Amino acid sequence: MENYLVAIGVTAGLYALLAQSVTLAWGMTGLVNLGLAGFWAIGAYASAMATVQGGAPVPAGALLAVVAGAAAGLVVTVSTLRLRDDYLAIVTLGFAEVVRLVASNEIWLTNGTDGISRIPGLFARTPPLSFNLSWLAVVTALVVAVWWALRRLSASPWGRALRAIREDPVVAAVAGKPVVRMKAEAFAISAAIAALSGALYGHFNAFVAPDLFLPLVTIYVFLAVTAGGNGRASGAVAGAYLLVAFLEATRFAAHALPGATPLQAAALREIAVGVALIVVLRFRPQGLFPERNQKAPA
Amino acid sequence: MIDALLQATVNGLIAGTILAVPAIGFSAIFAVLNYPNFAIGALAAVGAYAGWLANARFGWPLEASLVAAFAGAAAAGLAAERLAMRPLEPAGALMMAIASLAAGLVLENLIRLAFGNDPRGYALPLARDLVVGGLRVGPQQLRNLGIALAIMAAVWAFLRWTRTGRAMRAVADNRDLARLRGIDPERVAMTTVAVGAGLAGFGGLLVGVDTAAEPVMGQRLVLSIFAAAVLGGLGSIPGAVAGALAIGIVEEWSVLLLNPAYRTAIAFAVILAVLTVRPAGLFGTRAD
């Protein structure tokens, strides 16, 4: 039981990193990344390939994942940031799909749908409880570090300019802010955070495969961020832990349903996630931790 | 090689004509309601299943099943619009787009809940391919082509000659001026959603007839729909048709060179290229 709870804690921490990625891009800058699962996958694959095929140590793999995530973020945004925001949504949605296609079909590179297994785990995998506890410490520390960094960024002139861009890019541009460059920076950093989470996910579970990076993951994280409050890192973290509690609760609830096949139970669970996102968007879009107005510096 | 290229072009023209139907629906909703409806793929799947129920379960002929596909998808589209997207209009297009993604997830899983994951084939007679000058075409393919062309002609006539169609064009062109002329924007919006979703349903049926109805068919279709609409210029109906034809042909050509699994990756590459070179698309005007 402890083991299960600790493992859930690690997963929740990985979702909290994803949620903070969305907070930076969407909450602070107004950029909707519907390809979050794709950046997660890029991080997971970059680090898994570097450590399994390249023999690199885990921290080096994670670093490579961060770089790969940021680079992919720049590539995706380069053609869309000057356009209406919905173009970015369309492009990122397609991007995640293409990442999954490449991961499934370039067997020489990614081992195809079989995935990459035996990814090194940073700590000895036995006994499981101490493995999970060590991971809980690492992931929680990273969640706190990213949370602190985002708070600092948010309070900095850079963060203030991002919010100005979110509210009105034209006014921000007139005020002399390099709108496109700042959007690209924010999106690249956000993609790097998602990729870091993906790298950790692969090392913790020892396995990555294309089917783990479905578009559903993106919807999960948007639910977490909206429920927590999309303008604040604290909201994203709280929302991610709530999300994982909700997902685990629906897992048990689905088992308890009489007469539903496993497929139907899974479908009901996804319906619950979709309905929850629609309900939160409609009735409490500011989330549990609404954004606070900042005082203008004296 | 020339034969293969010609054959791929013919297949692509047929696939593109079918793709044009849901692409018109997506572009029409974007033009009038001003947000990208990401539930369009799931709505196509709803139409495919509604048509399949009518055709395979109740034994309706294909042309009558089209009515079921349109009605089923239009009803699902209206319900999603009313419950999920419409209330978020004050919050902006991006919020509506995210809500439509969630609505699509719900619709897809309602299908899975009711019918499971197995592909469902329509009850249609098998027929031998026709061979004309070395090119193979299936009689059912030709029938689908005819249906798609008839649907497009009907849409064109609707937009050109009916009061409602003209009101839709007016709102798409200039919302405020349309309101000044006494057009009720709410009614026009709901009509557009019903017609747009219904067109997606037609598209789902045509794809389902060609292969089978499956819950994930919408996810497979959606990138090609986006690519057609973006290439033609988001919000432009003639653009959606031209874009769909081009995407259909390019996707079929790509199969000659690449792993067929990458067909949708081609659609993505086209989206990126168009947005980099000419973001307004072939016929679009607004991209900023």
Residue in B with minimal Cα distance to A85: B94
H helix or E strand, kind and range, residue A160: helix A157-167
* Most A CBs within 10 Å, among B81, B251, B259, B272, to test the A interface: B272
Please check the confidence at residue B288 and state whether its pLDDT lies above 60: no
Residues of chain A contacting residue B276, judged by C-beta atoms under 8 Å apart:
78-79
Of the candidate ranges A51-60, A152-161, B237-246, B271-280, the one whose mean pLDDT is the lowest = B271-280
Of the candidate ranges A60-69, A150-159, B71-80, the one whose mean pLDDT is the lowest = A150-159
Of the candidate ranges A15-24, A239-248, B129-138, B266-275, the one whose mean pLDDT is the lowest = B129-138
Q: Minimal CA–CA distance to B99: which of B19, B33, B188?
A: B33
State the average pLDDT over residues B128-143.
87
State the average pLDDT over residues B198-225.
95
Instruction: State whether A278 and B103 contact (CB < 8 Å).
Output: yes
State the average pLDDT over residues A175-179.
90
How far apart are the C-alpha atoms of B189 and A203, rounded to whole Å? Answer: 49
Q: What is the pLDDT of residue A206?
A: 94
* Any B CB within 8 A of A284 CB: no
Residues of chain A contacting residue B222, judged by C-beta atoms under 8 Å apart:
93
DSSP 3-state assignment of B1?
coil
Confidence tier at B283 by pLDDT (50, 70, 90): confident
The rounded percent of chain B whose pLDDT value lies above 90 is: 76
Instruction: State whether B112 and A263 contact (CB < 8 Å).
Output: yes
Contacts across the A-B interface (CB distance below 8 Å):
136
Of the candidate ranges A159-163, B38-42, B47-51, B69-73, the one whose mean pLDDT is the lowest = A159-163
Confidence tier at A296 by pLDDT (50, 70, 90): low
Place of tokens 């609409």: B229
Query: From the list A85, A98, A104, which residue is nearest B94 (CB)?
Result: A85
Question: Please, are residues B97 and B38 in contact by the beta-carbon 8 Å criterion?
Answer: yes
Give the gap in angstroms from C-alpha B232 to the nearest C-alpha of chain A: 14
Please check the confidence at residue A45 and state whether its pLDDT lies above 60: yes
Q: Minimal CA–CA distance to A251: which of A240, A242, A262?
A: A262
Q: Which two tokens stand for residue B192?
A: 């557009």
Confidence tier at A124 by pLDDT (50, 70, 90): confident
* Any B CB within 8 A of A267 CB: yes
State the average pLDDT over residues A67-87.
90
HSE on the CB side for B252, CA within 13 Å? 20
Please check the confidence at residue A280 and state whether its pLDDT lies above 80: yes
Confidence tier at A67 by pLDDT (50, 70, 90): very high
Q: Which has more confidence, A232 or A219?
A: A219
Please check the confidence at residue A74 and state whether its pLDDT lies above 80: yes
Please check the confidence at residue A200 and state whether its pLDDT lies above 60: yes
Please check the confidence at residue A211 and state whether its pLDDT lies above 70: yes
Confidence tier at B287 by pLDDT (50, 70, 90): very low
Average pLDDT, chain A: 92
Instruction: Report CA-CA distances (Å) from A276 to A14, A33, A226, A246, A250.
Output: 21, 19, 10, 10, 12
> For the segment B65-105, what is each residue's pLDDT rounded down to a tens digit?
999 999 999 999 999 999 999 999 998 899 999 999 999 99
* Any B CB within 8 A of A82 CB: yes
Instruction: State whether B110 and A274 contact (CB < 8 Å).
Output: no
Question: Please, are residues B90 and A266 in contact by the beta-carbon 8 Å criterion?
Answer: no
* Any B CB within 8 A of A270 CB: yes
Give the gap in angstroms from C-alpha A279 to the nearest C-alpha of chain B: 8
Q: Which two tokens stand for residue A98?
A: 């293409």
> For the segment A225-256, what is each residue's pLDDT rounded down to a tens digit?
999 988 888 999 999 999 999 999 988 887 78
